[in-house]
């Protein structure tokens, strides 16, 4: 799943992982999820592992663990 704040941004997020829009499987679908703003949990950048914004992140396992914890 790829999440974005709007439908037009979702393909841009997918583009980070798929080499070409021409190879996107035809069975991919767009779903819309609406949340109340009070339900959105925010993560402050200061709480993320050092180097999280680099590609590839030097602390990839820590970054993945942060995402996994957030999703639970």
Q: For 7-53, what is each residue's pLDDT tens digit?
A: 888 777 777 777 776 777 778 888 888 878 887 778 888 888 788 78
Q: Which of 37, 31, 10 is nearest to 21 (CA)?
A: 10
- What pLDDT, in 10s, does the model give residues 40-72? 778 888 888 788 788 877 777 777 887 888 888
What distance in Å separates the CA atoms of residue 11 and residue 28, rounded to the nearest whole number? 11
In the chain, count of helices (H) and strands (E)?
2, 0
Say whether pTM exceeds 0.75.
Answer: no
């Amino acid at each position: 799943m790829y999440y974005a704040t709007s439908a037009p941004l979702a393909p841009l997020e997918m583009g980070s992982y798929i080499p070409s829009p021409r190879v996107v499987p035809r069975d991919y679908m767009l779903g819309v999820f609406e949340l109340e703003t009070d339900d959105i949990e925010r993560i402050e950048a200061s709480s993320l592992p050092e180097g999280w914004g680099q590609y590839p992140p030097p602390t990839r396992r820590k970054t993945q663990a942060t995402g996994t914890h957030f999703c639970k």
